[in-house]
Chain A
Amino acid sequence: MVEYGPRYKRWIVDLILLIGLLASIFPFYWMIVMATNTTSDIYRLPPKLIFGSYLLTNVAHVLQNISFWSNFLNTAFVACTVTVLQLFFCSLAGFTFAKFDFPLKNPLFVLLLGTMMLPSAGSLVALFVIMADLGWIGTFLPLIVPSMVTAFGIFWMRQYALGAIPNELIEAGRVDGMGHLRLYWHVAVPALRPALGYLGILSFITAWNDYLWPLIVLINPKLYTLQVALAQLNGVYSTDYSMVMAGTLMATIPLIIIFFLGARQFIANLSAGAVKA
C-alpha cells in the first residue's frame, strides 16, 4: 500500500472515490424517484428530484399491464432450479477432480478448461433448432438444462476443494465404509460451504438477469421471465416512464437483497477469482 501524502491529497482521494460512488448509485436513486412519482411530475420543468407518494399507483398499473407475479414466479423458479442443480453438479465434480485419482483425469480436466474459452453465442441458431427438435421451445428446459453444470463452476469448486478438504478426513470416511456420495455429502459439502455460497449467488444472479436466450426460447407469454416481460412492457407503454420504472424496481429489488446478504463474501471471492485467473 502507498503511504498517505499530505492532508490535501487525502481530500482529493476521498473526493474522487465519492464521485465514483455517487455515479454508481445515482441511476438507482433516479429509478426510485421515477417509480414513486407520476410521469408528468418527472417530465416537467423543473423536474421533481425527490421521492413521491405514487409508488402504489404505479405498481398497480404494472400489475394491470403484465402478469407480474407469474413472471416473477417463472424467474424465481428458473433461477432457483439452475442454482441448486449447478451447486450440486459442480461441487460433486470439483470435489472428485480435486481429491481422487482415476485414469484420464488430467486430460479430462484440461478438456474442461478448454471448453471455458469457447464463446457460447456462436451457435445460438443451431442451439435453438436443437431445442425445437427436442420439443423444448415454450418450456423452461432450454433455460435450465444447458446451465445446470458449468465449466467455471467445476473449476472454481476444484480450486477451493484442493485446499479446503483435508485428505485425512477422506481417509477416515473411507475407513468408516463411506461411499463416494456419502463422502461428498458428509465431508466435502460442509468444507465447501463458502465456495458454494459464491457460486450460488453468481449463478442465481446470472439466471435472474438473463435476457437474450429467454427472449428466443420462451415463445409463450405465460412463461416470460421478468427481463423479457420488462422489455415488452417498455416496448408497449414506453411513454409511461413511472410505470415502467416501478416494474423495473420490482424486478431489481429481490436481486439487490440477495447481493447484499452475501456481499462481503462475494466481493472477497470475486477478487480472489480474478487474480488467480
Chain B
Amino acid sequence: MRSATETIVVPKRKVERRAVPPRSKLRQYLPFYLSIAPYYVVFLAFGIIPIVFSIYLAFQRWDGIGRMQFVGLSNFVLALTDPVFGKAVLNTFLIWIMSTIPMLFLALILAFFLDQRQRSKFAYQVCYFLPNITSVVAITLIFNSLFGPQYGLINLTLTALHLPAVQWLTGSWAMKWAISIMVIWRWTGYNALVYMAGLQSIPVEVYEAGRIDGASTIDIFFRITLPLLRPVILFTVISSTIGGLSLFTEPQVLLGNNGGVGNEGLTMSLYQYWQAFASYHFGYGAAVSWIIFFIILAFTLLNWKIIQRGQN
C-alpha cells in the first residue's frame, strides 16, 4: 500500500511545481542567495560603512570622546603642511625602493637557479617560505637583537672584518636599511616561489628553440625568460607596492610610535596610527588615511602603466 501511495504522490508534486512557477522559483533561489549573503553583509557593515563614515570624519575635529566639530578642509591642510608627515611620505618611498628592488632582484635569481635544479626543490621551497609565515613582530624582535649597536651579531661581524660598525637603530640611513633588510628577508622567498611558478609555466620547447639558435644562458634569461615572466612580475610589483607603502609593524616594533630618532623610520601608516590611536586625533587620522589611500592608488596605477608600456 505504501509504495502505491508514494507513486501517486510524486507525480502530483511535479505537476504542482510546474503550475506555480514564481513561488517555487523563489524557493529554488533563496538558498543560493542565503549562501552568498554573509560576505555582502560583512562587507557592507565593515567595508562600505567605515569608508563613508571616514569621509565624514575627515572633515571633523574629534578626540573620540567629546563632540565632533566641523572644520572643513583644515585636517587635510594640516596634514599636507606638516613637515613630519612629509618626512613620513619620503621615508616610506625610500624604504620601498631600498627594499623592493633588491628583494625582487634576489627573488628572480633564486627562482631562476631553483628552477634549474633537477633534484628535489621541496626543502628549498619550504625554507625560503618560512620567513613569510613568521609574524612580523617575531621577526622584528629577532632582528632587533641582530642590529644591537655594540654586541649585535651584525656589528660584531663587521668589527671582526675591520669594517666600521653601523648604528642600525639611530643612524638616519641605517634605520631605513634596518627596516628594508627585514622586509627583504621576509618577502624574497615568497616572491621567488611566485616567480618559480611562472617559470614552470613556460613551455620547455621555447628554451630548446633558443638553445638550437645558439643562445647562452644569459641570453636565454634576458631574451626569453624575462619577457615571458612579465605578467608574474607585474603581480609581484603591484603587491609589493601596496604592501611596501602600507609598512607599519616593522618600524613600530623596532623604533616606536614616532619612528625613532628624528622620525627617520616613520612611515605613512605609522604616522596615521601615531596620530589617530596614540594621540587620539581621530578626525585628523581619517584625513591622513585618505591622503595615504590616494598616494598608494596613484603610485600603484603608475607602476602598472610603466610595466604595461614596457610590454609593447
A231 to B137, CA, bound (A): 7
A96, B32: Cβ atoms closer than 8 Å:
yes
Contacts of A89 in B (CB 8 A): 38-39
Q: How many A residues touch the partner, as a band?
A: 35 or more
- Contacts A17-B110, A126-B51, A263-B126; is A112 near B39 (CB within 8 Å)? yes
Q: Is the interface of A mostly helix, strand, loop or mixed?
A: helix
Which residues 1-54 of A sit at the B interface, judged by CB distance below 8 A? 1-5, 9, 13-14, 16-17, 20-21, 23-25, 27-28, 30-31, 34, 42-47
User: At the interface, yes or no: B85 with Cβ under 8 Å from chain A?
Assistant: no
A27 to B148, CA, bound (A): 14
A7 to B117, CA, bound (A): 13
User: Can you give 11 contacting A-B residue pairs, CB < 8 Å?
Assistant: A4-B118, A16-B109, A20-B124, A43-B150, A89-B38, A127-B50, A209-B136, A244-B145, A255-B133, A270-B197, A272-B197
Contacts of B185 in A (CB 8 A): 23-24, 27
A252, B135: Cβ atoms closer than 8 Å:
yes
A216, B277: Cβ atoms closer than 8 Å:
yes
Interface residues of B (CB under 8 A from A): 29, 31-33, 35-36, 38-40, 42-43, 45-47, 49-51, 53-54, 57, 64, 106, 109-110, 113-118, 122, 124-131, 133-139, 141-146, 148, 150-151, 153, 156, 185, 188-189, 192-194, 196-198, 200-201, 204, 207, 211, 217, 220, 232, 235, 242, 246, 248-249, 252-253, 269, 272-273, 276-277, 282, 285-286, 289-290, 292-293, 296
A123, B124: Cβ atoms closer than 8 Å:
no
A125 to B33, CA, bound (A): 32
- Contacts A47-B153, A125-B282; is A149 near B135 (CB within 8 Å)? no
A93, B29: Cβ atoms closer than 8 Å:
no
Which residues 160-194 of A sit at the B interface, judged by CB distance below 8 A? 179-181, 184
B54, A126: Cβ atoms closer than 8 Å:
yes
Interface residues of A (CB under 8 A from B): 1-5, 9, 13-14, 16-17, 20-21, 23-25, 27-28, 30-31, 34, 42-47, 89, 92-93, 95-97, 100, 102-103, 105, 108, 112, 115, 118-130, 132, 145-146, 148-151, 154, 179-181, 184, 205, 208-209, 211-212, 216, 227, 230-231, 234, 238, 241, 244-245, 248, 251-252, 255-256, 259-260, 263-264, 266-267, 270-272, 274-275, 277
- Contacts A42-B151, A251-B138, A252-B138; is A27 near B143 (CB within 8 Å)? yes
